[in-house]
Structure 1
Amino acid sequence: MAAGAVLVWRRGDELGRALDQVSLTRLEVAGALAVAGTILIQLVWSALLRGLGAEPARRDAASVFFVSQLGKYVPGSVWPVVAQMQFGVRWRVPRAVMLAANVLLLGMVTASGLAVGAVLLPWSSPDGLRRYWWLLLLLLPLAAGLHPRTVPAVLDRLLRRLGRDPLPVRPGLGSLAASAGWALLAWLVLGLHVAVLAGAFGHVGVRELAAFAGGMGLAWAAGLAFIPAPAGAGVRDAVLVLTLSPMTGTTGALTVALASRALLLVADVLLAAVGALARPVGRVGPVSPS
């Protein structure tokens, strides 16, 4: 993070000139795509929650998710989980189920992000395979880790270590497939979000779009893996800059990464405000409290 701050400081004048190249229209379109991508991440969580037997009203679930996500900007990355566990009580959903939904969300977003990077980045440029060949090695363990038999076993073991009973309902293939589908769509939309910004610095074709989607997935996964950083600050941006630099240049990549970070923050705040106004009140869920 410190190295990133120094880089931004050293290139301050260049960044200012580069940012002038990004039109207001591009920022508006990229902002709309940032909102859409964030909504798709919420749908990943909702699919997992339903797979665990909890069925809050869709509006209530969205409201709780978006409000709780502001906690990810506090160091530690546990505050969204704590907030959602408290809302689970309102829905009569056991805290263990809410915890499991969040563990699954982190696993699904991280694994799908790595998978998208592994599938797209090696073929996104003439030297992509040479630069990203190591990502291909992750595909087999990722597939094994997301298998419907693996996920419940890992969750039950985690709950036992926390002194809690195993899950009353285990997520099935349908809910895992639905959440994976939403996650893959999220990476495509967020890749388009980056592509709109990067278009100010050069041509964006199919190869570039593949690189942006794969880079965003890989960057997001790296940010989630580094728990101490609020919302992956520094880590996610650094990975995105490294991915974009061959196509946009270092200054352009840094501009896109910083603009993307700002727009995603605005998207989180806007959706949280809408969620707070919705004031979730639903109390449903067939799972009995623990």
Structure 2
Amino acid sequence: MTEDATGAASQPATADLSPGAGSSRVTWRARLISWGRRLVVLVIVGYAVYQLVGQWHQVSNTLSQLPWPRLVLSSAAVVAGVLLSPLVWQAMLDDLGSHVRVRDASKIYLVGQLGKYVPGSVMAFLLQMELARSFGVSRVRSFIASILTAGVVVIASLLAGALALPALVRNEPAVLWLFTLLPIGLVLLHPRPLTFVVDRLLSVLHREPLSRRLSGQAISRATGVSLLVYVFYGLHLYVLAGSLRATRDMHGGLLLLLCVGAMGLAMTAGLVAFILPSGIGARELIVVVVLSAVLPFGQALALAAVSRLSFTVVELAAAGTAALVARPSTSARGEP
């Protein structure tokens, strides 16, 4: 069974999927792509390990300089950002005509986000669709909300990442191409073009267009929350970097802006490198490149590794907690 834009069921489209030469070619192609993705991940992880081993003296010295209160405060900033992120998805879903409670949105979004740890797939979107369905939200509507959320998050991350432009121009101008997405994204933050794009997507999916235009209030709220999330992520990195002797002579406000920019652009790179589980390698590369403007390479590498570990632990813990707290309500199941 399939659903229209309002969640109504319709008969599924069928296709000839009988085995044959064509299906064999598809199977072999899928296997090659799958193994290719695994190889890419192994190469990136192997290179990261090589860098850590080569810089181990500086990395270990950096880790020894991080006092545990700073680590706790840094992790708390990650927790704040992660827990705010479902509000972006909830805002977009609400504007599409479906409302779920904050704790239910947290379960759908945070548990679904674990799918990003699967390389090269849309597993996060698929998980969110199925979880949303258990709360009475149609798969199509939750899918559109996830697409809108991803778009808003990318634009907000690029806006935050602009704070790191001076460091990028100096250290790695090659990654500045990411900002070519920003003008397009800013245009799409207007309700009219964004609604047009969503309607075209629904048309491709053979669904009815939206019953009304997306609201500027919902888009602004989602963008504002996303920017606040990146402020917390930047604060997380700032707390770590600020504990090192190399940054003690640097103005605290400038270091905070640099860290917010680093985390914003790092998240953009992680989303663009979707074939990598949770953007592993791409995120760390940006953090190292930006922080290398004020820190030795080995210290920047150590902070990138600590940041990755912190995010992984917090995201797993947040998803587990949200799954335990939220329960599908009988009233939500009644939505068409």
TM-score norm. by structure 2 comes to: 0.78
Moved more, 79-88 or 100-109: 79-88
Cα 1:140–1:31 shift into 2, 3 Å: same
Q: Which of 167, 176, 192 pairs up with 1:149?
A: 192
Q: Is the 8 A contact 1:96 1:167 kept in 2?
A: no
- Of 192, 211, 220, which aligns to 2:235? 192
- Percent identity of equivalent pairs: 34
- Answer with 1 or 2: which has the greater Rg: 2
Deviation of 1:288 after TM superposition, in Å, equals: 5.4
Query: How far 1:283 moved relative to its partner?
Result: 5.0
Query: Secondary structure at the residue paired with 2:47?
Result: helix
Q: Contact (CA 8 Å) 1:64, 1:280: kept in 2 or not? A: no
1: CA distance, partners of 2:204 / 2:104: 31
Per-residue deviation, residues 173-193 of structure 1 (Å, max 9, x unmatched): 111000000011111111110
CA distance in 2, matches of 1:233, 1:285: 36
Pick aligned residue for 2:302 from 234, 255, 264: 255
**Quick check: 1:81–1:99 contact (8 Å CA) kept in 2?**
yes
Distance of 2:174 and 2:132 partners within structure 1 = 44
Instruction: After superposition, give the CA deviation of every residue in 1:17-52 in whole Å (9 maximum; x if it has no partner).
Output: 211111111110001101001112121111111111
**1:230 maps to what in 2?**
277
- 1:103 alignment partner, one of 147, 150, 159: 147
| Unaligned ranges ≥5, structure 1 | none
The 1:26/1:81 distance shift into structure 2, 3 A limit, reads same
Question: For residues 132 and 227 of structure 1, what CA distance do their matches in structure 2 show?
Answer: 16
* Structure 1 residue 227 displacement after superposition: 1.0
SS in 2 for 1:200: coil
What amino acid does structure 1 have at the position aligned with 2:135? Answer: W
Q: Spell out the pairing of 1:1-290 with structure 2 (5 A cutoff).
A: 1=44, 2-118=46-162, 120-122=163-165, 139-201=182-244, 202-203=247-248, 205-282=252-329, 289=336
The alpha carbon displacement at 1:124 in A equals: 7.1
TM-score (norm 1): 0.90
Q: Secondary structure at the match of 2:296?
A: helix
CA 1:280–1:286: 2 relative to 1, 3 Å: closer
| Separation in 2, partners of 1:159, 1:135 | 27
CA distance in 1, matches of 2:296, 2:334: 52
Structure 2 residue ranges without an equivalent (≥5): 1-43
Q: Which segments of structure 1 move beyond 4 Å, counting only runs of 4 or more?
A: 123-128, 130-139, 283-288
Q: Flag the 1:134–1:162 CA change in 2: closer, same or farther, 3 A.
A: closer
Indicate how the Cα distance of structure 1 residues 134 and 67 shifts in structure 2: closer, same or farther if over 3 A, else same: closer
Distance apart, 1:136 and its partner CA = 6.7
Indicate if the aligned counterparts of 2:269 and 2:283 stay in contact, CA closer than 8 A: yes
Query: Cα distance 1:189–1:220, how it changes in 2: closer, same or farther (>3 A)?
Result: same
2:287 maps to amino acid: L
CA offset at residue 85 of structure 1? 0.9
The one-letter code matched in structure 2 to 1:194 is L
Whose relative contact order is higher, 1 or 2, with alpha carbons under 8 Å and at least 6 apart? Answer: 1
Equivalents in 1 of 2:275, 2:126: separation in Å? Answer: 16
Aligned-pair CA distance for 1:90: 2.2
**What is the Cα-based RMSD across aligned positions, in Å?**
2.6
